[in-house]
Structure formats: C-alpha cells, structure tokens
Amino acid sequence: MKKIQISPSILSGDFSQLGNEIQRLEKGGADMIHVDVMDGHFVPNLTIGPPVIKSLRKHSTLPFDVHLMISPVHKYIENFANAGADIITFHPEASENIDETINHIKSFNKKVGLSLNPNTGINIIENFLDKINLVLVMSVHPGFGGQKFMPEVLKKIKDLHEIKKNKNLNFDIEVDGGINFDNSKIVKDAGANILVSGTTIFKENKGDIKKNIDSLRSS
C-alpha cells in the first residue's frame, strides 16, 4: 500500500495571499500543492494560468500538482511545464491525441496524469495506464470548489485499484471533489493514495491546516 499523500487545492485559499497560503500548506505537512486551471470553456469557471504558477513557484519546494481543465490542452503544455508544474494532469476529452499529449508532457521531464470526470469511464484511458504516473478521479463535476462528494465514483476507484494490481502497474490514484473527514476513509479504502481537498483543509477547525491535513491522512 502506497503512503497516503495530501494535495491541498489552492482554489479554496485566499487568492490575495496565495504565496502565503502555499507556505502555510507546506508548514502544515502537505505533500504537494494542487493547482486547478480552468478556462471557462472546458469547465464553467476561470482560475489561473502560467504567469501565476510561475510567480508562486518561488514560495514552495513542494511539487506542483497541476490539473488542466482546458481545451484544447496540447498547445498549452509547454507554458505550464516552463512555469513550474511538476505533475501535469489533463482530461482525455481535451486532447485530440492522448498518446501525443502524454509524450509531450514527458518531453519536459514532468509526471503525467489523466483525469476522469464522474461520467467518464475507465475504458477511455485504460490503454494508457502503463504510460502515466497518476489517475485523477473527479468525485464532483469540475468547475467549482465546495461541492458534495459523489459516492458513485467509489466503484471507479476500486476498479482502477483492481486493474493496477492485476496488471502490476504503479500509477497513483488521486481523488478530488468534496473530500472531508467523513468520506476520506472510504476513499482510501477503495484504493486512493492521494487526496485533494480544499474547503476542509482551509476552513475546518478554525483553519488549523496542520490538524486538518493530519486528520485527512490518518482517518
């Protein structure tokens, strides 16, 4: 069993103090920083782009776990790689050629993730699981923070874990969307080893980030 890692989403942080927020997360024991990039086209919200990621890079040595919810994704990979992303995750629906986009990300010596929306089946990415580092399972419909966890994705997590075990693969299973103290255990039990959380980490226990990260990891 892989070590449980916590990847806090800065989408729930104070956008006027993002550098400080990232430093707080690092001091609080985060394993990486989850950066949600939305284009207002692939998903109905706009967030941040490469210049902001580049400016945040100097505030932390933690890996930047960058989730690209943009379409078409391929032509923007280089910008995010050069801005300081360590892991670049994209949606199969946003690429005209998934294999080419995977190889493009690898050409910058970055880790590669593929993300599955709640309605996207594993079959769409199954042929690529031996080429990637991470599968990000969305447990909400992407676009906005603070949504409720969709328990129906637990089967997808379990199925991914089973495929991984049966084929002796080594990709991480990351889950993002509505993760809190009440559901983190069932998500981990299903096979996830990276939890993305925003609202819970920044808001619970009067904003005690270390306590909230520790609780998600150990629950």
Tens-place pLDDT, residues 51-75: 999 999 999 999 999 999 999 999 9
Tens-place pLDDT, residues 106-158: 999 999 999 999 999 999 999 999 999 999 999 999 877 778 999 999 999 99
The catalytically annotated residue of 31, 39, 172, 176 is 176
Question: What number of helices (H) and strands (E) belong to the chain?
Answer: 8, 8
In the chain the domains, ranked by start, together with CATH numbers, are 5-218 (3.20.20.70)
pLDDT at 87 over 80: yes
Question: Whole-model pTM?
Answer: 0.96
The catalytically annotated residue of 36, 39, 65, 172 is 36
Q: Is the dihedral of CA 207, 210, 211, 212 positive or negative?
A: positive
Helices marked H in the chain: 18-27, 50-57, 77-83, 98-106, 154-166, 184-190, 199-203, 209-218
Q: Catalytic site residue 36?
A: yes
> In the block, which residue shows the tokens 């078409």?
72
Say which DSSP state 204 is in.
G
Nearest to 175 by CA among 195, 160, 189, 159: 195
Q: Catalytic site residue 176?
A: yes
What pLDDT sits at residue 146?
73
Residue 201's pLDDT band (cuts 50, 70, 90): very high
What pLDDT sits at residue 1?
63
